[in-house]
Amino acid sequence: MIVSEPRRPTASTVKTVRTHCPYCAFQCGLLVTPDGDGTLSIAGDADFPVNAGALCLKGYTAGETLGHPDRLTTPLARNAAGNLVPVSWDEAIARIAAGFRLLQRKYGRDAIGVFGGGSLTNEKVYLLGKFARAVLRTPHIDYNGRFCMSSAAAAGLRAFGLDRGLPFPVSDIAMADAILLVGANVSETMPPIMQYFEEQRRAGGQLIVVDPRRTATAEHATMHLRLIPGTDAVLAHGLLHVLIHERLIDEAYIRERTEGFEAVRAHAASYWPERVERLTGVPQRDIISTARTLGLASNAIVLTARGAEQQSQGVANVLSFINLALAMGRVGRPYNGYGCLTGQGNGQGGREHGQKSDQLPGYRRLDDAQAREEIARLWGMSPEDLPGPGRSAYELLDTLGRDGGVRGLLVMGSNPVVSAPNATHIEERLASLDFLAVCDFFVSETARLADVVLPSAQWAEEDGTMTNLEGRVLRRRQVVPPPEGVRTDLEIIQGLAEALGSPRGFPASACAAFAELRQATAGAPADYSGITTGRIDRERGVFWPCGPGASHGTPRLFADRFPTPNGRARFHRIHAFGSAERPDEEYPFFLTTGRVLAQYQSGTQTRRVRRLSTAAGGAQAEMHPQAAKRAGLANGTEITIETRRGRASFRLKTTAAIREDTIFVPFHWPDEQSANRLTNDALDPISRMPEFKVCAARITAAAGGRDNR
């Protein structure tokens, strides 16, 4: 059988280790102590300045997945009867190498793809990108962060010349007099961050939350703007209109530090409050009040998250809110500015070091000749042999198994059967592959389709570095060794590279991999070259950029200039088109998706944690009581939600906290409860981010009840 006990620490090895939570981008500091019986005691690290000892339930229970009975402890491969059965590591690696070689001989190098994840350590991200480009020599590597972070990243690059989620320490939140929080439910997604919002409120600060739902975070706010899904950019234009009209913009800052404002000023003129109320559903008095609160505040911060970003106009939405922050002259001043609240554990580092289809390590562009030259030299290859940009995550998945598409795929740290939009279609594409290899801790929904599954080590079983939502580079430390039979992802990459003819250049040690990553990022936008593990320990994390001669990292960006060719930030004139799909007669509701407190992403880990499953054991659809009444549905009914892509079943929870025209479903569950069987795969034209947050849906009672069409 594929299960074994984790290797137990002996009394002499038991000690408390300082490390970080395996889940979200807040990367709470943990104090982890092996109990000697295979379990871990976990407490918050009060000395780590970001969470200051606070944790959410996911952090406290993170040890449960290590010794879970479902844990994979031997590689699996599909036998002649079509079943996944245990095989040796040698056989598993050899089968992957042979499968990939065969497909590349038959269809060319581009026939192999790699799909990574935003929870992988920086070292894994770096070596996975190198493996794809230097060993497989394929352009097709992308990752699930494309589903999470790419719109904010693309907007940051366009406006500021650099993308770092928060360009200031998270503690600045507590010092802001006014905060506009757009599309974020941080009370549930990263609860320990609330200590900063609470401090801000205690000091008399104003918090304005923009969300179609009155979430736990909105409950905490001084004002809640319950906008129609997909109208974020319109709302931002309306706020800018009022700021301009009431002379609450900073003309000197605009003149000296930015470019492109006049076109934006002219465009905003047509977004007067009455019109914006009609388009967004937000009362004009609230629009005016919000603009005044922001414009008159001594310190003001604008924050966005997935609500505004996961749309087919996600980049435009973010740029519209960046316009606001720039017009008020906030960006680059302490306790002010624009920031994005990154989601996944290494959502920041995961997009910096080369697993994105268009980027090389350090946030260099793959189409930059100098970057290609430098990285190719470091990797011992010719720049001409370095592949160019490949397909973005959804486009890569969408072409799997097709003519001209990827025929063999390696998945590491991702579960796209649950996390990709239009999930039934993506499951079919994955099933159509000639060869699929998956590295995971458990047989995830994606691993179920694999030809070979490799069991990998978990967070507390390996070393590495992570970069949190502030751009602070942290150390993840090994607490216990992996169970017998399990390998780290670095060991897996090394083994695959060796089997494919590259015996050198893929260290299994995180320390050696980080040393090479530092070299690869020297002089790049995300420069890690001056960051050492000693400095991380001493400084409680180091903010990038941090070059070799730097005496410290860079907690605050953009103080004097922006990293654009002329040093100025750029305004962008945005046409607000709204979502790709809107309710109609057939599908009369907006459907939006998100997370709940006790689960994380595709749930591969958290659905297996007993206390989390008790707190949130299945998917509930939230709907307004009036809308439910009109549809003849009672609270607690099993319902089916349908969209043009598929159907899924949920238990109905009626709540007045949601708009009457909107249904909310969480996306942590698979199969019949899979929210992503419903979501729209319309992509943002710039970031290629799918539109998870808005589509049109209808509801029926699951057991033959009246439907609402």
How many Cβ atoms are within 10 Å of 1's Cβ, its own excluded? 7
Name the one range near ligand SF4 by CB under 6 A: 50-58, 199-207, 529-537, 576-584. 50-58
Q: Taking contact as CB under 6 A, which single stretch among the options 55-63, 285-293, 645-653, 674-682 is the one that binds ligand SF4?
A: 55-63
Token output for 701: 């009672």
Q: Is 24 in the site for ligand SF4 (CB under 6 A)?
A: yes
Residues 55, 315, 366, 526: which binds ligand SF4 (CB under 6 A)?
A: 55
User: Looking at 28, 153, 517, 576, which residue binds ligand SF4 (CB under 6 A)?
Assistant: 28
Q: Which residue in 27, 312, 317, 599 binds ligand SF4 (CB under 6 A)?
A: 27
Residue from 161, 169, 192, 361 in contact with ligand SF4 (CB under 6 A): 192
Return the number of the residue (25 or 397) whose C-beta is nearest ligand SF4: 25
194 interacts with ligand SF4 by CB under 6 A: no
Q: Does 100 bind ligand SF4 (CB under 6 A)?
A: no
Q: How far is the CB of 326 from ligand SF4 (least distance, A)?
A: 30
Query: How many residues touch ligand SF4 (CB under 6 A)?
Result: 14
- Using CB under 6 A, which of the segments 22-30, 159-167, 435-443, 582-590 binds ligand SF4? 22-30
Instruction: Go through 58-88 and write b for each residue having 16 or more CB atoms within 10 A of its CB, e for each that does not.
Output: bbbbbbbbbbbeebbbbbbbbeeeeebebbe
Residues paired with 638 in a beta bridge: 651
Q: Where are the beta strands (DSSP E) in 54-111?
A: 76-78, 84-86
Residue 23, interface with ligand SF4 (CB under 6 A)? yes
Query: Whose Cβ is closer to ligand SF4: residue 56's or residue 360's?
Result: 56
Does position 541 interact with ligand SF4 (CB under 6 A)? The reply is no
CB nearer to ligand SF4: pick between 25 and 249 = 25
Is 194 or 701 the residue whose CB approaches ligand SF4 more closely?
194
58 contacts 23 by C-beta, under 8 angstroms: yes
Is the Cβ of residue 23 or residue 271 nearer to ligand SF4 in the bound state? 23
Q: Which stretch binds ligand SF4 (CB under 6 A): 114-122, 189-197, 571-579, 616-624?
A: 189-197
Q: Which residues pair with 29 in a beta bridge?
A: 20
Minimum CB distance to ligand SF4, residue 30 (Å)? 8
- Taking the CA atoms of residue 530, residue 532, residue 535 and residue 536 in that order, the dihedral angle to the nearest 10 degrees is 110
Interaction of residue 190 with ligand SF4, rule CB under 6 A: yes
Per rule CB under 6 A, is residue 659 in the interface with ligand SF4?
no
Q: Which is nearer to ligand SF4, 30 or 418 (CB)?
A: 30
Among 2, 21, 218, 327, binds ligand SF4 (CB under 6 A): 21
Nearer to ligand SF4, 420 or 466 (CB): 466
- How far, in Å, CA of 323 to CA of 155, rounded? 11
Distance in Å, CB of 615 to ligand SF4, minimum: 13
What is the number of the residue whose Cβ is closest to ligand SF4? 59
Instruction: Answer for the pair 296, 176: CB distance below 8 angstroms, yes or no.
Output: no
Which stretch in 20-28, 197-205, 515-523, 604-612 sits in contact with ligand SF4 by CB under 6 A? 20-28
d(CA 598, CA 162): 33
- What stretches of 406-564 show up as alpha helix (H) in DSSP? 416-419, 423-431, 489-499, 510-521, 533-539
From 56-64, 315-323, 523-531, 537-545, give the range in contact with ligand SF4 by CB under 6 A.
56-64
DSSP string, 385-450: GS------HHHHHHTTTSTTS-SEEEEES--HHHHSSSHHHHHHHHHT-SEEEEEESS--TTGGG-
Backbone angles phi, psi at 525, to 5 degrees: -55, -50
Separate counts of helices (H) and strands (E) for the chain: 23, 30
Under the criterion CB under 6 A, does residue 164 sit at the interface with ligand SF4?
no
Nearer to ligand SF4, 51 or 680 (CB): 51
Residues 211 to 250 in contact with ligand SF4, rule: CB under 6 A = none
Shortest separation between residue 21's beta carbon and ligand SF4, angstroms: 3
471 within 8 A of 542, measured Cβ to Cβ = no
Give the residue from 548, 574, 437 showing the smallest Cα distance to 493. Answer: 437
Q: Say how many C-beta atoms besides its own lie within 10 A of residue 292's C-beta.
A: 16
- Shortest spacing between CB 538 and ligand SF4, in angstroms: 22
**Chosen residue from 2, 32, 42, 56 binding ligand SF4 by CB under 6 A:** 56
Strands (E), 290-386: 300-304, 337-340, 359-360, 364-365
197 in contact with ligand SF4 (CB under 6 A)? no
Q: How many residues does the chain have?
A: 709
Q: Is there binding between residue 58 and ligand SF4 (CB under 6 A)?
A: yes
Report the candidate in 299, 369, 367 with the shortest Cα–Cα distance to residue 334: 299
Q: What is the DSSP letter of 89?
A: H
The two structure tokens encoding residue 180: 């506009």
Q: What is the dihedral of CA 617, 622, 627, 633, to 10 degrees?
A: 0
Q: To the nearest whole angstrom, how small is the minimum distance from the Cβ of residue 705 to ligand SF4?
A: 37
Q: Which is nearer to ligand SF4, 139 or 347 (CB)?
A: 347
Catalog residues that contact ligand SF4 under the rule CB under 6 A: 21, 23-24, 26-28, 51, 55-56, 58-59, 190-192
